């Protein structure tokens, strides 16, 4: 028996559906782990298929391709053991992890606890495993668990009863603001309950509306955290396990330069944009730059994710656009070095109004004319997207989407919405943090010092859609501090209106906000996807009926 067990944890991105490419990456990382003397290298949940593969799992050809690549990888597993996630089809389909060693599939572990909440839908596709799997590697009894297995007490307890000393758990655990603390609490509890040390490996990368942060962990047998990997960093993480003391020791793990809540959330949004654009093969993005804070933050995120050469910003002024907006948009575009255009929408809006005037006879001006401005901009942006092949980013935030303060086929146009799950108050926080951080983080390039990234005047101004004279958002909505507090209680907290009023909010305001949320589900169903960063994101996580009598 060796004094310690040397591990390598592949905190990397394995995109959904890229079966052959994922297998090539596994083979490459297996080689690096072997060269570094690892006895065991672990890969994230459903490594070969990517997570979540959703209804790809219903295609026999997809399952067969995953099995074919797994068998080929097994032939290369010589000189170390490799734990590789894959969908295991044997009449029924299991979320599985294969232990490859000595040129073969030596053992297969099946996920026992199948989550069916939030963004998870495992019970639609998989059957549960019935037992924990123990492998002996360099004399150490290692339990092989998968994601939710460690969030429930029994799979780890069963592994301990079977004599496990170390639990290796592979994961595809989405990021959320409170997730790191939750993981640590759960892993500490499992370690204390079982006396086993835990090596927790997590996927990293963006997949449609979900962002995985990595954030892998080493937890000792007494429940203390031995090491934390940074969020949104791809890395092969090295560790040593001492079976005598049931402790884990990290070796040269990367350290986050800024681990603040704002820094990690910003990194999540950047990774979401980068992976959505990259994995879908778009050469770049474009967005409407209005001179407001939402589009300004979206532009900063896009540049940090893709670099300025892949970003186009378009200012589309009307008669109501202020000089502050014009100056702020131009100043930010020039400072960040993006392709920038100004297209006056006023003539087009006037032509629409002229064409519609006979049909509008007898009706006064209202939000119809305001929405025509927004929809004109949407048409122009979509035309530019088509012509240049750059994906259009929608710039709306969660506060607006919650209450329907957005125009269908206008400012809601876009194929990806980076701020869709970010409340307006958090938009302000992120914008101030981005300016204070002092550097533009361009992917693959060294930081470039700048005095600011988002114009301070844009941050300080009262928010306005600028669709009529002297308009501000607070003409139609409560102040954002109050609005967001109510929305968080109603959406994330699932509190009733009575509970929110009892917490100190004005009853009339609460009833109005809730009425707006419930009445605008039809808009949200037509909105672009965006990265999930809260516990109740609109889309696959929060699914309310459009037609409902519940108020």
- pLDDT, tens digit (0-9, with 9 covering 90-100), for 387-407: 999 999 999 999 999 999 999
Average pLDDT of 278-289? 97
d(CA 420, CA 491): 14
Token pair of 15, please? 């995109």
Domains and CATH numbers, the chain: 5-251 (3.60.110.10), 261-472 (3.40.50.620)
Query: Which candidate in 147, 196, 370, 413 is catalytic?
Result: 147
Nearest to 147, CA basis, from 206, 88, 73, 198 = 198
Mean confidence (pLDDT) of the chain: 93
Token pair of 192, please? 């204390």
Query: Which candidate in 25, 45, 466, 541 is catalytic?
Result: 45
d(CA 70, CA 74): 6
* CA distances from residue 371 to 8, 366, 407, 412, 472 in whole angstroms, order as listed: 55, 9, 6, 11, 15
Q: Decide if 196 is catalytic.
A: no
Q: Decide if 209 is catalytic.
A: no
Q: Tens digit of pLDDT for each residue in 535-548? A: 999 988 888 989 98
Q: Is the pLDDT of residue 79 over 80?
A: yes
Query: Which candidate in 111, 279, 398, 424 is catalytic?
Result: 111
d(CA 295, CA 401): 15
Token pair of 465, please? 């859609």
Nearest to 189, CA basis, from 180, 176, 201, 198 = 198
Q: ω before 52 within 30° of 0 (cis)? A: yes
User: Which one-letter DSSP state was computed for residue 313?
Assistant: E
Torsion sign over Cα 107, 113, 117, 118: negative
Token pair of 181, please? 């603390």
The model carries a pTM of 0.94
Question: Tokens 């820094």 map to which residue?
Answer: 263
Helix, strand, or coil (residue 393): strand
Q: Decide if 111 is catalytic.
A: yes
Residues 6+ apart with CB under 8 A from 68: none
Average pLDDT of 102-126? 93
d(CA 395, CA 420): 8
Torsion sign over Cα 373, 377, 382, 383: positive
């Amino acid at each position: 028996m060796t004094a310690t067990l040397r591990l390598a944890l592949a905190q990397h991105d394995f995109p959904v559906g890229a079966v052959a490419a994922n297998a090539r990456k596994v083979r490459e990382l297996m080689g690096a782990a072997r060269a570094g003397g690892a006895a065991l290298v672990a890969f994230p949940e459903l490594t070969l298929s990517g997570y979540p593969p959703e209804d790809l799992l219903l295609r026999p050809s997809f399952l067969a391709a995953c099995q074919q690549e797994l068998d080929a990888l097994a032939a290369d597993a010589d000189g170390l053991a490799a734990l590789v996630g894959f969908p295991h089809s044997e009449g029924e389909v299991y979320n599985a992890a294969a232990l490859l060693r000595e040129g073969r599939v030596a053992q297969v572990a099946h996920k026992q606890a199948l989550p069916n909440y939030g963004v998870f839908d495992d019970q639609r596709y998989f059957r549960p495993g019935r037992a924990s799997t123990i492998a002996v590697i360099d004399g150490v009894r290692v339990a092989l668990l998968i994601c939710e297995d460690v969030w429930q007490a029994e799979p780890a307890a069963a592994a301990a009863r079977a004599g496990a000393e170390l639990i290796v758990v592979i994961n595809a655990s989405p990021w959320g603001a409170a997730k790191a603390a939750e993981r640590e609490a759960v892993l500490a509890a499992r370690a204390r309950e079982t006396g086993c040390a835990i090596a927790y490996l997590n996927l990293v990368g963006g997949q449609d509306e979900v962002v995985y942060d990595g954030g892998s962990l080493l937890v000792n047998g007494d429940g203390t955290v031995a090491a934390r990997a940074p969020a949104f960093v791809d890395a092969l993480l090295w560790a040593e396990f001492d079976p005598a003391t049931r402790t884990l020791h990290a070796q040269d793990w990367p350290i986050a330069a800024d681990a603040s809540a704002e820094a990690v959330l910003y990194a999540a949004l950047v990774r979401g944009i980068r992976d959505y654009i990259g994995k879908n093969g778009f050469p770049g993005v474009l967005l409407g730059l209005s001179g407001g804070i939402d589009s300004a933050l979206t532009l900063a995120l896009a540049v940090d994710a893709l670099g300025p050469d892949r970003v186009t910003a378009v200012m589309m002024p009307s008669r109501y656009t202020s000089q502050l907006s014009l100056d702020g948009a131009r100043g930010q575009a020039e400072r960040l070095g993006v392709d920038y255009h100004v297209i006056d929408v006023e003539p087009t809006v006037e032509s629409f109004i002229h064409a519609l005037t006979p049909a509008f006879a007898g009706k006064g001006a209202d939000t119809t004319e305001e929405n025509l401005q927004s929809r004109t901009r949407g048409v122009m942006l979509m035309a530019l997207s088509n012509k240049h092949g750059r994906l259009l980013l929608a710039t709306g935030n969660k506060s607006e989407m919650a209450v329907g303060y957005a125009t269908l086929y206008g400012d809601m146009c876009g194929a990806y919405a980076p701020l869709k799950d970010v409340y307006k108050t958090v938009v302000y926080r992120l914008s101030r943090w981005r300016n204070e951080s002092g550097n533009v983080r361009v992917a693959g390039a060294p930081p470039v010092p700048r005095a600011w990234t988002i114009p301070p005047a844009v941050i300080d101004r009262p928010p306005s859609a600028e669709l009529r004279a002297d308009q501000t958002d607070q003409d139609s909505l409560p102040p954002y501090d109050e609005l967001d507090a109510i929305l968080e209680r109603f959406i994330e907290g699932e509190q009733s209106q009575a509970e929110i009023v009892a917490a100190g909010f004005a009853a009339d305001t609460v009833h109005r906000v809730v009425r707006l949320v419930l009445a605008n589900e039809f808009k949200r169903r037509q909105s672009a996807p965006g990265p999930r960063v809260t516990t109740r994101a609109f889309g696959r996580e929060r699914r309310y009926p459009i037609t409902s009598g519940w108020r």
